[in-house]
Amino acid sequence: MNTSTTNPGIKFYYLSEDAITIKFGEGIHDEVFERIVSFSQILNNRPFPGLITTVQAYVTLTIYYDPILISKSKMYGSNGYDKVVNYLTGLCSDLANNLTKQSTHFKIPVCYDKEFGLDIEELAENKNLSLSELIKLHTSQTYKVYMIGFIPGFAYMGGMDERLSSPRKEVPRKAVPSGSVGIAGYQTGIYPLTSPGGWQIIGRTPLSLFSLTRKNPTLLEAGDLVSFECIDRQTFQELLDARDADQTY
């Protein structure tokens, strides 16, 4: 696999004839995340001929492009990979001066009742916590959405209290209900659709995280901030009824 290094900490990897992955650092850190978001903004504002899309992850940004348009372009380089890397390298100098987008802060209501928190009792027991202590730990943090993946609208969020860290289930469930709030490792996330999954489920939100009836189908985007608010079963049902009455909610 071809690898190129430019600025300290930034490496380019050949993924395929129509894709390159840029690695910006190691581990889940805000500094690395900000560099990824900044570079993505710079590239989207100054795209090269043939750019198709970008896909963001915890420490990488993958760039997809049309290799035919790249080969026909006047970009500098002996082949498609070199042309794209040379162009992207030129954008790296603007990283320090580029401001990332302002984050939107969402407050997500969650019902932590055992009916919805399929694993909350077992998790609390394993952590030597009461249910109220576990809920307080989960709702006391502000989380950052680092990437969207797995299924449409699934937000991987960092910033969780390490006391709640828990491995995925050894045997994944065949169907995790939409809106389920889970924990896996040092991450927390929300299942936007009913799907198979192995995260430890501790509650459920009545909000819709993914809807094709909205202008932007996904509620959350990379860079957004999220806080969780504990609600009771009655409030959950009221919000669920309101959501179903308004398909854009």
The domain that holds 74 is classified in CATH as 3.30.1360.40
Dig out the tokens for 30 from the structure.
């805000």
pLDDT at residue 19, as a whole number: 93
Class of residue 13 by CB neighbours under 10 A (exposed 0-12, middle 13-18, buried 19+) = middle
The tens-digit pLDDT sequence of the chain (249 residues) is 555 555 557 899 999 999 999 998 887 777 888 888 888 888 988 999 999 998 888 889 999 999 999 988 888 888 889 999 999 988 877 766 655 556 799 999 999 999 999 999 999 999 999 999 999 999 999 999 988 888 899 999 999 999 999 999 999 999 999 999 999 999 999 999 999 999 999 999 999 999 888 888 899 988 899 999 999 999 999 999 998 877 544
pLDDT at residue 249, as a whole number: 46
Domain end point (choices 30, 63, 97): 97
Q: Check whether residue 90 and residue 9 sit in a common domain.
A: yes
pLDDT at residue 44, as a whole number: 86
Q: Check whether residue 124 and residue 51 sit in a common domain.
A: no
Domain end point (choices 43, 76, 97): 97
Q: Check whether residue 123 and residue 223 sit in a common domain.
A: yes
The dihedral sign for the CA sequence 219, 223, 229, 233: positive
Total count of domains within the chain: 2
User: Which domain does 140 fall in, by range?
Assistant: 105-245
Cα gap 110→192, rounded to integer Å = 13
Place of tokens 């790296």: 92
Q: Check whether residue 49 and residue 125 sit in a common domain.
A: no
Question: Which CATH number do you get for residue 215?
Answer: 2.40.100.10
Q: Check whether residue 226 and residue 197 sit in a common domain.
A: yes
- Three-state secondary structure string covering 48-95: CCCEEEEEECCCEEEEEECHHHHHHCCCCCCCHHHHHHHHHHHHHCCH
Domain end point (choices 69, 97, 125): 97
